[in-house]
Each structure stands twice: as C-alpha cells, then as structure tokens.
Amino acid sequence: MTEQRITEQKKKKRRAPRLVRRLAAIVTLALAIILADVLSPYLKDWLSLLLPRIDYQRAAVQLTHEMEKAGELVAIRNTDTGMMTGTINAKFLGKVSEVTAPYLYEIGLGVKLADVALTPEENSLTVAVPEAGMLYDSFQVTGNPQINDFWGFATQRRYQQMQNDQQQACRQGYLEDPVYMEQAWEAVCEQLEALFRQWTGESLRLQFVHAKDTAA
C-alpha cells in the first residue's frame, strides 16, 4: 500500500510541471495577441521607415517624359467580319438595286498619353486617365460583291457610300456601348500600370481615376 501511494505522488509531481508549461504557453500567446493588437497601428509607419522610399515627384517627371515619347496607347484591338447589305430605292419604283459583300472591320481603342495627368503624393501617384476613344479603324470589302442592279442605279459613288455607312455602323457599335468602353478604360489602366513598372523599375503605388472626375 505504501509503495502505491509513493507511485501516485510521483505521477502527480510529473503532471504539475506539464500543467505549468501549458498555462505559461497560453498566457504567452494571449500577451502576444494583445501586444500585436496594440502595436498594429504603428507597424505600418515603422515598416515605411525601414523600406526604401520612392520619390513619387521624380517618378512623375520620368513617366511624363516616357509618355510623351510613346505618344499613344492602344489598349484594345478588335476585328469583325460580316456581310454588308445595301439597297437603293427609287421613287415610284421601290427597291431598284441591292448589293451584298463580305467585309473586314478593325478598330483600336485607347488614349493619347498626353491627356493622362499624373499627380504625385507623398506615398502614391494619382493617375487621371481620360475615357478611351478610337485611335484608328479601317474597313475593307474582302470578296466579290453580289450586285443586283437591273436599272444601273448602283454607281461607284453609291457603292462607296454603302461602305462608309457600314463602317460607321461598326464604329458606333463599339463607341456607343458604355459597358464596352468602360472595359476599354480599365484595359488602359492595366497597361499603364505595366508600362510604369517597366519604365521605372519600381512597383509604384498607383490610384487610377477618371479624368472627368478630377475635372469636376
């Protein structure tokens, strides 16, 4: 019986240090959490002092110079194919001519970089980007036109006007679509960010805004 009591006492003595260590670990973890919460507002400032600072004023000057050299940025290029159909109506006769022809339409959307404004802040660069616009477009007939023109109304002038009308319709399909034009603006911002990183060799903190918002 005496030996059994001695064994139980030894087990209790071994359990005590384990319990103390567990309690100490819990207390230490709790103190670490509290300390991190208290110091978190200051960590950002401390890190900014330790990390190399970017001279955003200098970066703005450099980027403005690079944009002047580049001239413009085509962010989106699209190619459409389709079938042009044009008709000619005559008074009292109705439709007297019909022309159909396959076509290829191309458009490039982007911005003139001279219209991009940079405003350096202490720790960032505000980039005011104008709305994306058409930088180029082209239209060409890609196959032999099918002409139904018994009366001879389909003159070369009228045929050219049909092409002009189709090109204008294709152009408006892009420029008058607000969702697509916003996507084009976002594409401009993404490509500007990549260009700025390439030109400066640094990861700048950038804030892109619509130029019309800054003007207001």
pLDDT > 50? residue 49: no
Q: Residue 43: which pLDDT band, with cuts at 50, 70 and 90?
A: low
CA neighbor of 209 nearest in space, from 128, 117, 114: 128
Share of the chain above pLDDT 70, in %: 66
> Which pLDDT value is given to residue 158?
79
Which is nearest to 213 in space by CA: 134, 148, 119, 141? 119
Confidence of residue 159 (pLDDT cuts 50, 70, 90): confident
Closest CA to 123 of 47, 55, 197: 55
Structural domain boundaries in the chain: 1-51, 56-215
The CA distance from 126 to 117, in Å, is 8
Of 53-62, 156-165, 187-196, the poorest mean pLDDT is in 156-165
Average pLDDT, the chain: 81
Question: Residue 50 above 50 pLDDT?
Answer: no
Most confident of 3-12, 132-141, 145-154: 132-141
Mean pLDDT of 36-40: 62
> What does the pLDDT read at residue 128?
97
Residues linked to residue 179 through DSSP beta bridges, in sequence order:
none
Residue 67 pLDDT greater than 80, yes or no: yes
Q: What is the mean pLDDT of residues 114-130?
A: 95
* Location of structure tokens 């670490």: 32
- Spatial CB neighbours of 144, under 8 Å, sequence gap ≥ 6: 101
Q: Which pLDDT score, from 0 to 100, does residue 39 have?
A: 56
> How large is the average pLDDT for residues 200-215?
86
Q: What pLDDT does 157 receive? A: 76
The whole-number pLDDT of residue 51 equals: 45
Terminal Cα-to-Cα distance of the chain (whole angstroms): 93
